[in-house]
């Protein structure tokens, strides 16, 4: 246990008060930068946490297009956050001035809230990728689907400091009419993809880059991963793909809402 030495009880009280103030200020920054409903500044009192208003419903149609126009791409990153790979992905995105959408598994967000808040603070968007990443959830009951989606939404929102996920991506694309409607009613647009980089299979950096270039004509939303194993090939591929996309004149956007 850390010792306070001669600071005494008054010094400890002042330090604690300053610490609370710092946390409140940081939370205000995170929520303000996210610019989402319910993401206003934190209250002056630490215990004053009014319930955020329910997010406005969005379309239940699976989104694929970009809000940045017809010659744009959406970078989406799945399965994290991961303490090894997410910071490296964030660094590559920062170096290239690119914003992305991070589709998070609930328990991963819960385990690494500092990474979730870094993602939000950098201007990226959040996406609900369920609790268990069950690619067969489209064959499960509606109660199970609800638990997977809503529990993850709560875990991500809490980890972020109050910023809700704006999208819902079913693991393996296992959407159902029910899950799409449920997510949309909570303000999360169902999110698909057009280009699967196949990085999850670790085929090699060159293979990942080639797949993206070959499949880009399918549409703008590109799928990468920052968790689920060694993602060094993904990081290396992003270092090549992002500058190449810029050279081709592509803008970078978010999936439509």
What residues act catalytically? 78, 225
Phi/psi for 61 (5° steps) reads -75, 135
CB-CB neighbours of 51 under 10 Å: 6
| Helix/strand number for the chain, H first, E second | 8, 8
Stated as kind and residue range, the H or E segment containing 208 is: helix 205-215
104 close to 129: Cβ distance less than 8 angstroms: yes
Distance CA 212, CA 226 (A): 16
252 close to 124: Cβ distance less than 8 angstroms: no
In angstroms, what is the C-alpha Rg of the chain?
Answer: 20
State the DSSP string of 113-125: HHHHHHHHHTT-E
Residue located via tokens 């799928």: 223
Structure token digits, residue 219: 């549409």
Q: Which residues pair with 74 in a beta bridge?
A: 221, 253
Give residues with Cβ within 8 angstroms of 229, minimum separation 6. Answer: 200, 202
């Amino acid at each position: 246990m850390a010792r306070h030495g001669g600071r005494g009880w008054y010094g400890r009280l002042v330090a604690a008060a300053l610490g609370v103030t710092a946390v409140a200020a940081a939370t205000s920054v995170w929520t303000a930068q996210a610019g989402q409903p319910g993401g206003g500044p934190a209250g002056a009192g630490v215990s004053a946490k009014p319930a955020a208003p329910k997010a406005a419903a969005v379309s239940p149609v699976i989104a694929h297009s970009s809000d940045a126009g017809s010659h744009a791409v959406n970078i989406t990153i799945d399965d994290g956050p991961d303490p090894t790979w997410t910071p490296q992905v964030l660094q590559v995105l920062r170096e290239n001035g690119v914003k992305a959408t991070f589709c998070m598994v609930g328990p991963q967000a819960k385990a690494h809230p500092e990474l979730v808040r870094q993602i939000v603070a950098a201007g990226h968007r959040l996406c609900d990728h369920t609790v268990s990443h069950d690619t067969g959830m489209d064959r499960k009951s509606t109660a199970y689907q609800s638990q997977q989606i809503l529990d993850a939404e709560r875990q991500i929102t809490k980890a972020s400091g109050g910023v809700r996920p704006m999208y819902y991506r079913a693991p393996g694309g296992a959407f159902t009419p029910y899950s799409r409607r449920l997510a949309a009613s909570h303000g999360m647009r169902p999110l698909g993809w057009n280009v699967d980089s196949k990085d999850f299979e670790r085929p090699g950096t060159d293979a990942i880059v080639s797949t993206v270039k070959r499949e880009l004509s399918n549409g703008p939303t590109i799928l990468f991963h920052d968790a689920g194993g060694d993602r060094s090939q993904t990081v290396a591929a992003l270092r090549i793909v992002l500058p190449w996309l810029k050279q081709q004149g592509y803008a970078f956007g978010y999936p439509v809402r």
